[in-house]
Each structure stands twice: as C-alpha cells, then as structure tokens.
Structure 1
Amino acid sequence: DVSAFWTCISKLMTKRQPMQRSKSSNNNNIGELSFEDMEYMLYTIFDDTANGIERCDMRGLTETTLGMAKIVKTLRQQSKRRREDSSRVILRRLLVSKDMKPNENLFQFFAGQSIDMLDQFDARSLSNLAYAYALIDYVPEFDDGSDLFDHIAMKAVDIIAEFNAQDMSNITWAYATVKKPHPVLFEAMGDQVVAREHLEEFDPQALSNIVWAYATSGVPHPSLLEKVANYIVDSKSL
C-alpha cells in the first residue's frame, strides 16, 4: 500500500532524530542504506505511486496526496538546516522545486485523478483533499477555468450532512488558507454547525479553526458565531 508509505514517512519526518555521536556514522535516517540505495528505493516507490494512482480508491488517493503534502510542508520548514540526511535530500528532489514550491506537475496530476472520481468521495476524503492542498498552498486549475476547490465545494454541499466536526474544521480552514472563500459552502457548513443540538463533538482547536476560517474568508454567518460564543460561555460556567 503506497499510500501508507507516504503517510509513514510524513510522520517519521516530524519526529526528533537522535543526535549522531560518531562523526563517521551514516547520516541517513532510513535504516543503514547507502545514498544510492536509498535514492533507488525512493525513486522506485515514487514511480510506482504515480503509475498506480489511477487504480487507487478515494481513500488511497487522498491519503497519498495528504502524506506527500505533509512531507512538502516539513521540507519547507526544515529547508534552512545546515545538514540534511539523505532521505530529505532525495525527497526534496522528488516533491519540491528549487524555490521550495511543490512539484506542481505531480499535484496537478493527483488533482486530475481526484476530479475523475469525485462522485465517490465521502466527507472525510473531501476534507482531507482540500486540507492537503492548503498545506502546500497550491490550487490546481483546469482547462475549463475551474479549480480543484470549486469542485470540492460543489460535492461537499451535496453531502453536507455527512461532515463531522473534524471534517468541518479541516475543510473551512483549507478554503480560508488558500484564500478561496466559497459563500455557498461556508453558508452550508455554518448551518450544519448551528443545527447541532450541542457542540461537544468539537474540540477547542476545531472551533478555533472554524471561527478563524469565517473571519479570514469574510463570509458572514452571525448565527454560527453566536452559537460558538454561547457554547464557550456556557462551558466556562459549568
């Protein structure tokens, strides 16, 4: 499962690596592979991923895209390291350009594959897809003038009742982050929050993300803000 590989790599990259005590020790972080062997391994997996993405279901496609997007974000954050292990050097060649922008050909390709099967996406996959592209600040555009976020929004509105608290938080945060306010989507999402009998399923970070997204996007939804404010006040008074 190549999607699991990229998810695993993204998690490993955010963990603190133990200090190298020996000057002669290998500066790789994937086993004891030589640079050449590691390069061959990662390039092979990368090619297998790109060539096999058409056979992935919605979950495999979104997990692969999200895993790679998290790697890109980490590479950007760590770009000023004085020394990099071999795996990061190779991953940077695969996933980002010299100016640290995402590999647009790759992520455009993934976006096209997503559009072809968007009717199969559930709420979690839609929110993860939007979240992935927001992490790398890239909005893929298509020949008809639309972009990926236009298509995600239309599908999301159709299945709006399926979104849970985390899904709502991720997708609204994503749209605000890439500066793509979508009034119809935000109205529908806000209505879903307001319709909840209570907001216990929303953790503080999810509520914070949602409020920030509406404030940043400039899409008004007074009922949503009132609902959240009342919940916070009531929670503090318990």
Structure 2
Amino acid sequence: MRRSDRFHERRRGDRKRPRRPDAGTLPASSGSRERSRDVGPYNRELRELLAGIGAPKPAPFQPDPFQLEALAALESEDVLVTAPTGSGKTWIAREEIRRLLDGGKQAWYTTPLKALTNSKYAEFTEEFGAERVGILTGDRKENSDAPLIVGTTEIFRNQLFDALRGGDEVRADMVVFDEAHYLADEDRGHVWEEAIILTPTRIRMLLLSATIGNAPEFAGWIS
C-alpha cells in the first residue's frame, strides 16, 4: 500500500460518527407542535369572529357627486376631470358615451399609448358591443365607421388636420382625452395641444387626468 493510500485510510478511520440524540432529547419540530397547540384556540376564536361578521350585502352603485357634476356639465361645456387613479374618471366617460350612442351620436376616445388603446377597445367592445366600437392606431384599423372610435391621440389629431385641409368634419360629438397631462410632455405634448386647439367647438371635450397640478389654469386655457 502506498503512503498516500495509508494516509487516506487512517484519515477515514479517524472520522467520528455523529452522536445519536439521547433518548430524552425532543426533536426540533416538537417545539413548533407545542406552539401550534397553544395558538389553536385563538385561531378558532378568530374564525368564529370572522364568520360572525360575514360579507356585506350587494348594493347598487352610487356615483360620487363629482361624477354627476361632470356629466351634467358635459351637456353644455368642455370638462376637465382631475382625480386619483381608480376614483371613477372612466365611469364619467363611459356614461356619457352611453348617452351619446343611445341617442344616435358618435364619440372618440383617445389615449397616449397603443397598449392602453387596445385595453380600452376591449373594455368598450364588451360594454357596448363589437358592432358599435372601432379602433384606430398605427398598427390596427378595425370598424372605422363605428359610432365609437378608440385610438391614439396622434390619429385623432391627424383626422383633424385632414378634415381641415379637405373641408370635412370629424365624425364625433364628443372626444375624450385620457391621460390629458401628456400635454406637458416635452416630446409629444404638441400633439395634445394641436388636437385641443383644432377640435371644433361643436365637439365636446372631456379631459381626464390623475396628475395635473394646475387644474384651474389648465381648465381656463381649454375653455
């Protein structure tokens, strides 16, 4: 046997086997079982308490005063709505669009992003029916003669330019500018400015934003 073999043989023989736990030693998991038994009654009390509370009864939707005020104002003037995300700005647009479509009129809904446009198109298609909703972006053109068109702000601005050159009119009785704070965007803000300026006075404008800080000044500019 070579020296190195004897060395490794001796080293293997020197290794100690792990000592078995004493008979009186509890496994590590027993403590957690003890604790789980201790908190068991509290869990039962919590479940009983929650079961007694129950779920709230369904109730009809009640719009907030600012939503009703915006709808009333849209009958005679342009409206800017500034409110936090999730507070119900889109509800105002949806209800006004519903009123217009039911009256045989037309509307445009603009967004700054293709992804948001696609999302709103799917939402409104489900809400109003596929035959009443179209979409216009740089990538999609579907049902462009529908009474409700969802598209990017650039497409709406381009339609305004085309109508101005050709002496035609944009087919809309109201336009919604979602994410209207893009007016302040350094690169694309001119698109919103041009669209707002070129929109004929016969077309009501509804501007929605969660982040416009100078709302009174903004509203004064569009009025």
Q: TM-score range by the shorter chain?
A: under 0.3
Q: Which of the pair is proportionally richer in strand?
A: 2
Question: Could you say which structure has the higher helix fraction?
Answer: 1
By relative contact order (CA 8 Å, sep 6+), the higher-ranking structure is 2
TM-score when normalising by structure 1 = 0.26
- Over alpha carbons, which structure has the higher Rg? 2
**TM-score, scaled to structure 2:** 0.27
